[in-house]
Structure 1
């Protein structure tokens, strides 16, 4: 299978990453990555850009150096009601939102409260296309309820290579395997991501691929193949300006 799409990447704009958008694009062009999703942290994350940044992503060409550019955001879940720290006008030109917990923004709560926040965000925002790094052991979650809801809403569940490698959210590996097995059970779509904060990490899904091979994840559920990913997004009314 061709894992040639990476929708969770960051640039210096996020405040704690180390390459520019053009450096990320050039890396993709040189390494055969066909789709780059740029997904900076939303404004509540320390160091993140102002919400105007996301509202102006419309200026990005759809294709640069033969790489298809998707306009995303890693939105911070703010509360149990499932609110995200980005106003509706800033979401207008986004292709997708990754909904994630981050400790500086949402302090871990009870299992019921954490779970309700995830369930509510899926209902509240139609541009939430990916649930980010659910395996973080700091957040106790009802994975069964979340994965079933993601299936119902046709939302992808991220398998985050940074989490699995131990470079972020140490201890996520056991939870990620549980999540992946539930996605297989309920036939919920999954997507491999790098969560790259430097361009050399973009498209590195080594640990995620190992996990999928271990549990024999059905290929039809894995959304990194460019045609499949674009078909999924277009079926939901996204990318109407992309001729593909």
Structure 2
């Protein structure tokens, strides 16, 4: 079994208004060098979406990051590694809106959608539904069912609106009905992430999806170059859930 690509990594560009290097520490080159040393064939640089006021990659910087990756690919592709420009976009609307403008999609090779506290919601109702209800649901069980319903519907609406390649750590920060979400990802070929860093997908969640022909990816969510390609915890969860490893898109079975 061999990891062929890590499709969820961050660099100093995930900084928002904070000083670069305070959230993620390496450069694109740093991440690429580690990926190459570990025998990966692809790596995606997936900075936080623009609406995250602490760590988001501002929309106006996306073209410059694209140019940097293009330059680096001239060096790394002949060595056997391709660098992709990705964004870990944020779900910011109950209607499925994410924080990437249509104009920016042309620069992006790999689009992730996730849920993060700290993203700026589309409007007041979205803020209450997505960013008010979810924290309450963790301490008030009466709110949990409604939060799961709203989250799941918003995720599904986003899948219908955007060319999303992968959902990052689904259910880790905002609970979802993973079976309903899984049914929808199957329609679009969108991968569900088994994260080495986050609790979800958990073994229990994977088991609920075993009878569905869903695509998965295992990723590091590296915020330091040395963590690129470290997916052992994700592989452990997949094996413990008895997930057929041929369903994991970014590993190669020898």
Residue in structure 2 matching 1:139, options 174, 184, 187: 174
Residue in structure 2 matching 1:191, options 217, 221, 233: 217
Asked whether 1:81 is paired with 2:118, we answer no
- For the residue of structure 1 that corresponds to 2:211, the secondary structure is helix
Aligned to 2:233: 207
> Judging changes above 3 Å, is the alpha-carbon distance between structure 1 residues 20 and 57 closer, same or farther for their aligned structure 2 residues?
closer
Question: Once the 2 structures are TM-superposed, how far is the Cα of residue 57 of structure 1 from its aligned partner?
Answer: 4.3
The question of whether the paired residues in 2 share the 8 Å contact of 1:135 and 1:176 is answered with no
RMSD (Å) for aligned C-alpha atoms: 1.9
For 2:81 and 2:239, locate their aligned partners in 1 and report how far apart those are by CA, in whole Å: 28
The question of whether the paired residues in 2 share the 8 Å contact of 1:6 and 1:192 is answered with yes
For 1:151 and 1:73, locate their aligned partners in 2 and report how far apart those are by CA, in whole Å: 21
Residue in structure 2 matching 1:30, options 18, 30, 37: 37
For 1:29 and 1:112, locate their aligned partners in 2 and report how far apart those are by CA, in whole Å: 42
Aligned length: 216
Please list, as runs of the form range in 1=range in 2, the aligned pairs for 1:1-244 lying within 5 A after superposition: 1-15=1-15, 16-45=23-52, 46-59=54-67, 60-61=69-70, 62=73, 64=76, 65-105=79-119, 106-107=130-131, 109=133, 110-126=147-163, 128-136=164-172, 138-163=173-198, 172=199, 176-225=202-251
Structure 1 residues without counterparts, runs of 5 or longer = 164-171, 228-244
Structure 2 residues without counterparts, runs of 5 or longer = 16-22, 120-129, 134-146
Larger radius of gyration: 2
- For the residue of structure 1 that corresponds to 2:117, the secondary structure is coil
Aligned to 1:238: none
The question of whether the paired residues in 2 share the 8 Å contact of 1:55 and 1:92 is answered with no
- For the residue of structure 1 that corresponds to 2:9, the secondary structure is coil
- For the residue of structure 1 that corresponds to 2:181, the secondary structure is helix
User: After superposition, what is the alpha-carbon deviation per residue over 1:52-98, rounded to whole angstroms, capped at 9, x for unaligned?
Assistant: 22234442234624311111100000011111111111111211211
The question of whether the paired residues in 2 share the 8 Å contact of 1:40 and 1:73 is answered with yes
The question of whether the paired residues in 1 share the 8 Å contact of 2:11 and 2:24 is answered with yes
User: After superposition, what is the alpha-carbon deviation per residue over 1:208-233, rounded to whole angstroms, capped at 9, x for unaligned?
Assistant: 11111112211221111379xxxxxx
The question of whether the paired residues in 2 share the 8 Å contact of 1:35 and 1:70 is answered with yes
Aligned to 2:140: none
Question: Once the 2 structures are TM-superposed, how far is the Cα of residue 20 of structure 1 from its aligned partner?
Answer: 0.6
TM-score by length of 1: 0.83
The question of whether the paired residues in 1 share the 8 Å contact of 2:44 and 2:85 is answered with yes
